[in-house]
Structure 1
Amino acid sequence: MILPDGYSDVPAAKIAAVVTHLEMTAPPARRADPPGSWTLRKIDTPAPDWYRDIYRRVGEDWLWFSRARMSDTELAAIIHAPGIELYALAVDGRDEGLLELDLRQPGHCELVYFGVTGSLIGTGAARFLMNRTLELAWSRDVRRVWVHTCTFDHPSAVAFYQRSGFRPFHRQIEVADDPRLDGTAPRDAARHVPIIE
């Protein structure tokens, strides 16, 4: 459904974001790595507790909530599924970034989750992580790599993806229950998004 021009009502206790889908259909020119001491490691058979911790630390301020609402069984069914790959960006032995790739659809690679913790924003860590991401994605038999982001994410997210070689191809409005009102996220998370009860 295409929303008409003008205003559309959003009920109380809901959040609404513009979601931008971006893709690339050929490997982009490689960007130089910024200086830093980051490493990337593959996480085989991640424990749900590990996943929940890094997911929260990377995404809570951007209102990542869908995986936080899942039971351990539901979460494990996704993160242990064949074709799903998880990686951590590590700094001084501590995981501070998350990359989740979905390779289940032949010829396609989705960056399901991509991000670094707040202390690493602006340090070049995300560029390092994206460089590794694109190397991993395009080392497979794929013809398309894609990602989506929304207006709850960092304000530079769309521009960062575009600088990385992605181009927007689709936009949507997402409306959902505010995760801060049901305890999925703390009430003080994502202060840039007002709570409307």
Structure 2
Amino acid sequence: MKTVPAEVTTWYLEQTSPGDLVPARPAPVQIVRAEVPSPEFARYLYTAVGGPHNWTDRLVWSHDHWQEHLTRPGVEIWTAWDRGTPAGYVELLPPEDGAVEIICFGLVPSFIGRGIGGHLLSEGTARAWDLAARWPGLPATTRVWLHTCSLDGPAAVPNYTRRGFRVYATRTRVEDVWERPLGPWPGAR
């Protein structure tokens, strides 16, 4: 498969206080922290959620690179489970000067439209705000931020803003993207 140039808009969003979070109504899922660093599970989530949206940066990571990333203090993956099946996830990067990044967030395609995304984002954002409580030595969270782009699903920006995130920067540029999104496996929708 080949890449093609495409105009991609990226929005950068933030919360600067725990009071900014506007929780969604709960969804019938369990949200559990993956406490055992597992490169296989993390890569599965990354491809299952990101494949339809041209998430490709981490596809070249080796097992060792995944392991090194996942064992950094403060890196956390929170997974939404629907009756034993992973429905989506939030990945947190530890604070840099108090700023926690939600580096990955999304749902497995078959779980989109079930009211899970808002609840998962609410819980993931709350866990970003209290990250230092689970990781002694990390600075207290003073800001939670993320970015999304026009390659992500159409509900991304509205979900973020409904949860209390504010756009603080926007960038548009031409990028090389796959002609068709990769999907969670070759040939997937």
Q: Could you tell me the TM-score, scaled by structure 1's length?
A: 0.79
Match of 1:56 in 2: 47
Q: Secondary structure at the match of 1:81?
A: coil
The amino acid across from 1:50 in the alignment is F
Structure index of larger Rg: 1
TM-score normalised by the chain length of structure 2: 0.82
Number of aligned positions between the proteins: 177
2:79 corresponds to 1:79 = no
What is the CA-CA distance between 1:23 and the residue it aligns to? 0.5
Whole-Å separation in 2 of the counterparts to 1:59 and 1:124: 19
Q: Render the CA deviation track for 1:168-197: whole Å, top value 9, x for unaligned.
A: 11122355443469x89867567xxxxxxx
Q: For 2:96 and 2:119, locate their aligned partners in 1 and report how far apart those are by CA, in whole Å.
A: 26
Shift of 1:158: 1.1
Is 1:45 the counterpart of 2:36 in the alignment? Answer: yes
1:30, distance to aligned residue in structure 2 (A):
3.8
Map 1:162-181 to 2 at 5 A: 162-173=161-172, 175-179=174-178
The 3 A distance-change label for structure 1 pair 25 and 47 is same
- Equivalent in the alignment of 1:4: none
Higher share of residues assigned helix:
2
Report if aligned partners of 1:149, 1:157 keep a CA contact under 8 Å in 2: yes
Whole-angstrom CA distance in 2 between matches of 1:130 and 1:99: 7
SS of alignment partner, residue 142 of structure 2: strand
The amino acid across from 2:69 in the alignment is I
User: Structure 2 counterpart of 1:166, which letter?
Assistant: F
Q: Give the share of equivalent positions with the same residue, in percent.
A: 29
Does residue 110 of the first structure (1) align with residue 85 of the second (2)?
A: no
Deviations 1:35-79 (A, max 9, x none): x42011111233222111111111111111111122222222222
Q: What letter corresponds to residue 161 of structure 1 in structure 2?
A: Y
Instruction: Structure 1: state its 5+ residue gaps.
Output: 1-11, 191-197
Distance 1:152 1:81 in 2: 28
**How far apart in 2 are the matches of 1:92 and 1:174?**
41
Asked if residue 31 in structure 1 is aligned to residue 23 in structure 2, the reply is: yes
**Displacement of 1:165:** 0.5
Which residue of structure 1 lines up, in the alignment, with residue 112 of structure 2?
A: 121
Letter in 2 for 1:60: G
